[in-house]
Amino acid sequence: MNPSLTVGIVGATGAVGQELVRLMHERNFPFTTLRLFASARSAGRTIEHSGKKYVVEEAKPGVFAGVDLAFFAAGGSVTRALAGDAVKAGCLVIDKSSALRQEPDIPLVIPEINPEKLRAHKGIIANPNCSTAVMLMGLWPLHQLFGVKRVIISTYQSVSGTGAEAVRELEDQVQAHVAKQPLVKKVYPYQIAFNCIPHIDTFDDTGYTGEETKMAMESRKIMGLPGLKVSATTVRVPVVRAHSISVCAEFERSVDVEKARAAVAAFPGAELVDDPANKKYPTPVDFAEKVKCGVGRIRKDTAFENGLSFWVSGDNLWKGAALNAVQNAELMIRENLLKPQQG
């Protein structure tokens, strides 16, 4: 354990940044000093947690001297502008954005799946996309048992994945509906209250969105399966917090539902909630602010020869972002991996 550890959070005033501050305290993360960084307009703001007050500093080149570990939660442009400066200052960067996830020399890590990749870092660790991380809490234990070869995914993603402004938009639209007033749209191209929008990120020339492409590319990298076939449809739904994902997976070996349930129940990242006869299955409300992701509705898929269908719900701000980053950092501290390994 490091006797003295200075931790920084870049993007500390955003939704994920605030969750990082919270988790630092609630999980008794072993920092000696915590420094919070954000844009120039937020500099000087005071954030209080657990009786401690922190003054937000401007995130800019030169501020990382003396910082041992920095969580970046401010978007790809900030990562591209500042991560290199932090690494040069001797700081380990754990980045939430998508900017560096597909760089071949930057590990993309979920600690329950590929923790060994943490040893290969050169100063930066990438955190996966929220929907990818939640989905893999159900798929990985089944892959270990049966060997996955094809996956079809539909997501039901909460508005908190877009940010605090989107949460306010959902709340305002619900209130406007009740008051029989016009619903104002600012964040999304369509009304989000009482609606579903099959559009997350931008469309490419194939008709898929960036979010859908991320799920495919990141799953392959994290699982070490470059040939994995993935087709995803990502959908924004009027849920405040926690994403849910429907998965249909085809496997190399014959599947067994009871063995699948046992594998999920034994997996450290998942909680098995699978008793449909008694109306027990995961929901986003039940898995908001929970460390594990809920997995249920495991059944034989009727379209694939060796297939299983299942449902996952998990907190996009925790396992999908802040918690996964913190878990990576906790493991690296225990294994003394904050500095790049020689050789």
Q: Give yes or no: 49 in active site.
A: no
Q: Give yes or no: 91 in active site.
A: no
Rounded Cα distance between 304 and 252, Å, is 11
Asked if residue 35 belongs to a known ligand binding site, the reply is no
Asked if residue 42 belongs to a known ligand binding site, the reply is yes
Asked if residue 62 belongs to a known ligand binding site, the reply is no
Asked if residue 161 belongs to a known ligand binding site, the reply is yes
CB distance 243 to 131 below 8 Å: yes
Which of 130, 143, 248, 293 does the annotation list as catalytic?
Answer: 130
- 3-state DSSP assignment of residue 148: strand
Asked if residue 182 belongs to a known ligand binding site, the reply is yes
Asked if residue 341 belongs to a known ligand binding site, the reply is no
Asked if residue 314 belongs to a known ligand binding site, the reply is no
CA distances from 335 to 25, 142, 239 (A): 21, 28, 38
Asked if residue 41 belongs to a known ligand binding site, the reply is yes
- 3-state DSSP assignment of residue 18: helix
Which of 91, 243, 248, 293 does the annotation list as catalytic?
Answer: 243
* Nearest alpha carbon to residue 15 among 55, 73, 94, 71: 73
Asked if residue 15 belongs to a known ligand binding site, the reply is yes
Asked if residue 220 belongs to a known ligand binding site, the reply is no
Residues 309-335: b if buried by 16+ CB within 10 A, e if exposed: bbbbbbbbbbbbbbbbbbbbbeebbee
Rounded Cα distance between 93 and 100, Å, is 11
**Residues that constitute the known binding site for phosphate:** 101
**Residues that constitute the known binding site for NADP(+):** 13-16, 41-42, 160-161, 182, 316
**Residues that constitute the known binding site for substrate:** 157, 236
**Residues that constitute the known binding site:** 13-16, 41-42, 101, 157, 160-161, 182, 236, 316
Enumerate the active-site residues.
Answer: 130, 243
